[in-house]
Structure 1
Amino acid sequence: MKPTLLPAFLASLLLCTPAIGAGTIWISNVKLVSPEKLDRVETGAVLIEGGRIARVERGPSGPAPAGASVVDGKGYYLTPGLIDSHVHLHAVPGMSMEQGASGDSLAQAYFRQLPRSFLYYGFTTVIDLAVSDFGVIERLRKAPLHPDVFHCGEPLVLANGYPMSFYAPDKRFQGFGNYLFDPAMPTLVPEQFAPSAHTVAAGVARVAKAGGICVKTHFERGFGADRNLPVMSPAKFAEVRAATTRAGKVLVTHANSFEAQSFAVAGRADVLAHGMWHWGALNGRPGLPPEIKALLDKIVDQRTGYQPTMQVLYGLRAYVEPGYLDDPALRKVVPASLLAWFSTPQGQWFKPEVTEGEIDAAVMQSMEGPLRRQRAVVAYLAGRDANFVFGSDTPSSPTYGNLPGLNGYREMRQLHAAGMSLAQIFRAATINNARTFKLDGELGSIEVGKAANLLLMKTSPLEDVSAYDSVLTVWVRGEQTAREALAADYR
């Protein structure tokens, strides 16, 4: 994901949403669906006090505690709030970095709606994997209604590697404050940017000081016209692994190829922040080659967190997908003004980069190979019950095909079609994410003492993936909001 710096215009982007304050709330007559007790989906009740779960009752419940606000769940399903562990909060889908940072009124409208769009689809917690402007994080946290926000701080980027390579050589070192040098990968560096201040220890310390819960790294040789970027050596990655462990953080690695995931698994990364859509010399092989299976077996055995991020490619396909912009679901998560702009010649600026001169049908067809490979990998890992951790990569690039909240729901649908069971998807978006990112003392299940981040759904997420589009009520730290009030087109 390309980082950018956003100016202070976002300071005013706060939008009030009708909500009930976090007091004492008794939610009764609900079926409890919690990932640590999937064998016990039964009618019960939950007491919220001071934004936390104070009591969980399974089976027939007694009367509401004195003074509590009573919520009749009408026999619907109460679940933990969802966690999306791969977002990029600074970027405006469909806009260039420069336009998103310009103070454009369309960008302002997007940022006002942003927190509500995640909540609309039940994502009460998000993790930003690569912060380029901490002001964005702070302003989002100060919004009247917003998901819990965690982050990995500034990513540890190899000098002149991905994603520094998106910037001109004379600007890229100013844009990335946490770059690293690897003696095994010599590269040209301007004199004023001294290696001594950019050791692995210093980089991890910057992340910790900024409040990051994870450290983000990359193994990416490039794509398009630039396929020879420097990558970390095993020795340098081992330094990062050791420093991250000492700091008590989670090591996340951008790795979307067989080569990259082999490297990251050998180096004991905690999370692979992408699916494997590039198999290198194995791309044309039918089925799942033995070499791929052997790597996937290691991922399972090491309990490496795995984010398939299938919506990355589907997000690019939006520019050649007939009727994409007419989908009513877009109106729920994007302001009308921005949605209308997407259809203009200016709003279509990114399409030539996606199509590279090919006709729409050819572009659609060209993505079938990577998607086939991703589906095969997901199906195999699902069959072995791998440690899937849900992440949508929203937005993965300047495409308008990855919209907040909706992108997560569509990721779930793609994962289910690829072979993940409904229980695996539910665990990936709740307890697996919480445990892998060391947040399970606070989030991920309906248990006493945890934050009251909860969803009331009409349909059980264990019965149909469409349940994630049946949310009725959202609680964040005990604050209750009707889903309909979160929509961009709410009046």
Structure 2
Amino acid sequence: MKITALLASLFICAPALAGQTWITNVKLVSPEKLERIETGSVLIQDEHIVRVERNARAASPKGATRIDGKGYYLTPGLIDSHVHLFAVPGMSFEQADHMQEMAKAYFAQMPRSYLYYGYTTVIDLAAGSREFIDRVKAMPLHPDIYDCGAPLVFANGYPSSYAPPEHRFEVFSNFIYDPAQADKIPARYKPEDYTPAKGVARVKADGAVCVKTHYEHGFGNQRNLPVMSPAIYGEVRAAATKAGLTLVTHGNSFEAQTFAVNGGVDVLAHGMWHWGALNNASELPDEIKQLLDKIVDRNIGYQPTMQVLYGLRAYVDPEYLNTPALARLLPPAMLAWLKTPEGNWFKEEVAEEDQTDEAVRQGMEAPLRRQRQVVAYLASRNANFLFGTDTPSSPTYGNIPGLNGYLEMQNLRNAGLSLEQIFKAATINNARAFHVEKDVGTIEPGKLANLVLMKESPLKDVRAYDTVDTVWVRGRPTARASLAVTE
């Protein structure tokens, strides 16, 4: 008997089983039944939901632990499908290694910060360290974690280009060999071992649910990076399909997203804020609309990741580090350090020399406008939005776990997404896109008991996502207040 059928059969019996929890007096908000926001109850047995009652008068099973939901709103646990767990916001890898105690304190809090805002599932799109992810999974409190394994990068392309050449192929060991660059690839790496098929096979063997690729010519001082050809991408697509993996591609430009869409991508990992030769257009060009129509028609998952740009803009926002939520999500010593000149080191990467804060803000307005226009058009066509934050997108302190998601939801709302679109993007859409819908994404018997109790309805106001009361991960409840940083 399948586990779903087995669990569903359990609630036919009247007596409660040992370890059952009855969450009652809650308004059920589940994305597959948004037309039925009714007062009801949920029965949990160990890690799973075994019964859902949309009936305010349903009797509590005998022997079950009863939790009164106070008339609040019970939703599935939220899913952030674009995180990078191994990075410390505001710190380079060298700084994190030098300030190990501070980094250690951050990592101890990091999974709790995701839970603080209701993210009970996260997907790491570039799992640089299996050992590290396993350590996070061993922590007493953490979201469920899925990942794309080691990113499948093109030799000497983005993002491997940011690692020193002498260590590049060790740090980004799952790469695609490019014969045209044979003189730039150490001789110990053999072409036959670094084909698209071999790279995807390594990801599959690592237990991943997706494979991450990139189409990025670069930015800043690196603008002519090598990228894979359509033929190579086609080999990746075929291998990912055979392995049953979701194909995710980084690309924030019109050129990159055109390439990925034409190549059969499943998920676009960013919004489009670079329009290339069309950058100066004030209205959304027809050429871009035609591409966006293909994205909608083919049901391609779309992660706007608006907080990438807003996270950079935090360095020219004098009030950002005084945001009250940061004191609940960051260790005190780390927050204090970020407010020092040393802690603001990354601002030099955001602003050009002698550029004023106002000039930086003005310079970001055009890409933000372009991004909002793309998102608004996709929202008008009810695209397959996937909620992902790219936390942290770079060594910026503007991408703090948990809070980054809440800010992203506000950005999406302001860009034109409905509250229903946001809710589905963070639940059922993500679950389906990464093939984990049998476990998460809705409130149904057989699913994992990953749940969030909010004081307000996420279908009435985006601020509801900051009214979390209790979070359940695999049936284990945790009060939000206990997830905040303690001195």
TM-score by length of 2: 0.95
Q: In the alignment, residue 370 of structure 1 is paired with which amino acid?
A: P
SS of the equivalent of 1:367 reads helix
Pick one of 379, 394, 398 that aligns with 1:397.
Answer: 394
Kept in 2: contact 1:316–1:354 (CA 8 A): yes
Is 1:211 matched with 2:207? yes
Amino-acid identity (%): 64
Corresponding position of 2:457: 460
Corresponding position of 1:282: 278
Corresponding position of 1:132: 128
Pick one of 320, 324, 336 that aligns with 1:328.
Answer: 324
Pick one of 29, 32, 47 that aligns with 1:36.
Answer: 32
1:182-193 counterparts in 2 under 5 A? 182-183=178-179, 188-193=184-189
Deviation at residue 186 of structure 1 after TM alignment: 6.7
Q: In the alignment, residue 416 of structure 2 is paired with which amino acid?
A: G
Deviations 1:202-232 (A, max 9, x none): 1111111111000000000000121100001
Is 1:481 matched with 2:478? yes
Deviation at residue 474 of structure 1 after TM alignment: 0.3
Deviation at residue 194 of structure 1 after TM alignment: 2.1
- C-alpha separation in 2, matches of 1:354 and 1:488: 29
Corresponding position of 1:349: 345
Kept in 2: contact 1:52–1:477 (CA 8 A): yes
Q: In the superposition, relative to structure 1, how do residues 313 and 476 fare at CA in structure 2: closer, same or farther (>3 Å)?
A: same
Kept in 2: contact 1:442–1:450 (CA 8 A): yes
Deviation at residue 125 of structure 1 after TM alignment: 0.2
SS of the equivalent of 2:36 reads coil
- C-alpha separation in 2, matches of 1:350 and 1:299: 34
Deviation at residue 174 of structure 1 after TM alignment: 1.3
- C-alpha separation in 2, matches of 1:168 and 1:182: 18
Deviations 1:7-45 (A, max 9, x none): xxxxxxxxxxxxxxx931101111000000011101110
Is there any run of 5+ residues in structure 1 with no aligned partner, and where? 1-21
Kept in 2: contact 1:162–1:221 (CA 8 A): yes
Kept in 1: contact 2:40–2:58 (CA 8 A): no
Pick one of 446, 450, 454 that aligns with 1:449.
Answer: 446
- C-alpha separation in 2, matches of 1:248 and 1:184: 30
Corresponding position of 2:365: 368
RMSD value over aligned CA atoms?
A: 1.2
Deviation at residue 193 of structure 1 after TM alignment: 2.2
- C-alpha separation in 2, matches of 1:424 and 1:302: 18
Kept in 1: contact 2:179–2:191 (CA 8 A): no
Deviations 1:113-161 (A, max 9, x none): 0110000000000000001111110011000011000000001000000
Is 1:194 matched with 2:190? yes
Corresponding position of 2:308: 312
Corresponding position of 2:296: 300
Kept in 1: contact 2:32–2:442 (CA 8 A): yes
- C-alpha separation in 2, matches of 1:329 and 1:161: 37
Kept in 1: contact 2:69–2:453 (CA 8 A): yes
- C-alpha separation in 2, matches of 1:23 and 1:467: 30
SS of the equivalent of 2:469 reads strand
State which drifts further: 228-237 or 59-68. Answer: 59-68
- C-alpha separation in 2, matches of 1:62 and 1:319: 52
Q: In the superposition, relative to structure 1, how do residues 309 and 57 fare at CA in structure 2: closer, same or farther (>3 Å)?
A: same
Is 1:232 matched with 2:228? yes
Deviations 1:415-455 (A, max 9, x none): 00000000000000000000010010100000000000001
- C-alpha separation in 2, matches of 1:344 and 1:107: 16
- C-alpha separation in 1, matches of 2:102 and 2:428: 36
Corresponding position of 1:385: 382
Kept in 2: contact 1:45–1:61 (CA 8 A): no
- C-alpha separation in 2, matches of 1:223 and 1:448: 48
Kept in 2: contact 1:185–1:231 (CA 8 A): no
Pick one of 147, 153, 160 that aligns with 2:143.
Answer: 147
Deviation at residue 184 of structure 1 after TM alignment: 6.6
Q: In the alignment, residue 126 of structure 1 is paired with which amino acid?
A: V
- C-alpha separation in 2, matches of 1:102 and 1:136: 18
Kept in 2: contact 1:379–1:419 (CA 8 A): yes
Kept in 2: contact 1:185–1:233 (CA 8 A): no
State which drifts further: 222-231 or 184-193. Answer: 184-193
Q: In the alignment, residue 82 of structure 2 is paired with which amino acid?
A: H
TM-score by length of 1: 0.94
Q: In the alignment, residue 436 of structure 1 is paired with which amino acid?
A: A
Corresponding position of 1:72: 68
Deviation at residue 332 of structure 1 after TM alignment: 1.5
Deviation at residue 59 of structure 1 after TM alignment: 2.1
Pick one of 104, 107, 112 that aligns with 1:108.
Answer: 104
SS of the equivalent of 2:184 reads coil
Kept in 1: contact 2:149–2:208 (CA 8 A): yes
- C-alpha separation in 2, matches of 1:187 and 1:61: 73
SS of the equivalent of 1:192 reads coil
Deviation at residue 101 of structure 1 after TM alignment: 3.5
Kept in 2: contact 1:23–1:478 (CA 8 A): no
Corresponding position of 2:12: none
Kept in 2: contact 1:182–1:236 (CA 8 A): no
Corresponding position of 2:257: 261
Is 1:408 matched with 2:405? yes
- C-alpha separation in 2, matches of 1:49 and 1:270: 35
Corresponding position of 1:418: 415
SS of the equivalent of 1:149 reads strand
State which drifts further: 344-353 or 240-249. Answer: 344-353
- C-alpha separation in 1, matches of 2:431 and 2:416: 22
SS of the equivalent of 2:400 reads coil
Total equivalences in the alignment: 469
Pick one of 21, 25, 28 that aligns with 1:25.
Answer: 21
State which drifts further: 386-395 or 188-197. Answer: 188-197
Deviation at residue 185 of structure 1 after TM alignment: 7.0
- C-alpha separation in 1, matches of 2:244 and 2:99: 37
Q: In the superposition, relative to structure 1, how do residues 44 and 473 fare at CA in structure 2: closer, same or farther (>3 Å)?
A: same
- C-alpha separation in 2, matches of 1:344 and 1:95: 13
Corresponding position of 1:5: none
Kept in 1: contact 2:157–2:227 (CA 8 A): yes
- C-alpha separation in 1, matches of 2:291 and 2:255: 10
- C-alpha separation in 1, matches of 2:419 and 2:239: 36
Kept in 2: contact 1:23–1:51 (CA 8 A): no
Q: In the alignment, residue 435 of structure 1 is paired with which amino acid?
A: R
Kept in 1: contact 2:76–2:442 (CA 8 A): yes
